[in-house]
């Protein structure tokens, strides 16, 4: 498997990696449904395609925490750092999860990378992000 089916298009793993330009993708999630979707995707381990999306030697990191205002805890969070080798697998698993939160998060990540809903890299500016 070397592609991600988003429901409206197909994105090649290589397209995601090229859009990342060898940089680690970071995000801090506060939505409980998105956090749960990522935890489920990461906990699969190595799947039937021999792919993993959590390899610390690749620079991948997923850490739970809390957002605070002073001593008041506002919400839980999941701070994620995902390398170019792992992000396509994470996106694929989020899209395959069958959950709205997984689909929504995968779509948001692709958009931040400058990949349109049809799986084409068009750049962040073309999507109104710069």
pLDDT tier at 27, thresholds 50, 70, 90: very high
Which residue's structure tokens are 């592609």? 3
Instruction: Give phi and psi for 100, each to the nearest 5.
Output: -60, -40
pLDDT at 16 over 80: yes
Full-model pTM: 0.90
**In a 3-state reduction of DSSP, which class is residue 15?**
helix
Q: Which phi and psi angles does 68 have, rounded to 5°?
A: -125, 155
């Amino acid at each position: 498997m070397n592609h991600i089916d988003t429901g409206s298009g197909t994105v090649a793993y290589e397209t995601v990696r090229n859009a990342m330009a060898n940089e680690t993708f970071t995000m801090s999630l506060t939505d409980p449904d998105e956090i749960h979707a990522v935890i489920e995707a990461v906990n699969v381990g190595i799947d039937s395609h021999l792919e993993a999306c959590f390899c610390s030697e690749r620079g991948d990191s997923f850490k739970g925490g809390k957002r605070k205002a002073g001593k008041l805890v506002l919400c839980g969070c999941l701070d994620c750092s995902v390398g170019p080798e792992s992000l396509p697998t994470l996106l694929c698993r989020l899209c395959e999860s069958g959950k709205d939160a997984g689909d929504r998060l995968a779509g948001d990540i692709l958009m931040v990378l400058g990949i349109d809903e049809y799986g084409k890299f068009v750049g962040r500016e073309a999507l109104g992000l710069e």
